[in-house]
Amino acid sequence: MRQRTPIEKQQAIKLAVEAVRDSGRDPSRYNITAEDAGTEWSVSFEGKPPRPPGDELFVYVSKESSKTRLMLGE
């Protein structure tokens, strides 16, 4: 069985943008950054100014499976 190649940063951002869009939000309203978090990518979406408190999202993208988890800011 062939092992999958872990996804790269740009692919993780693309998957995270899709997850945000699928949640009914507009990704263009956010500043996007991505960080390597070991077995996954942590992609942050921080609302562009002026922004209300808690206007941030986090999407965790598995490097192996490409699965995403969306977390809302508080």
User: 7-28 pLDDT, tens per residue?
Assistant: 999 999 999 999 999 999 999 9
**Domain residue extents for the chain:** 9-72
- Examine the pLDDT at 61 and tell me if it is beyond 70: yes
Tokens of 34: 């991505």
pTM greater than 0.85: yes
Cα 31 from Cα 47, distance rounded (Å): 6
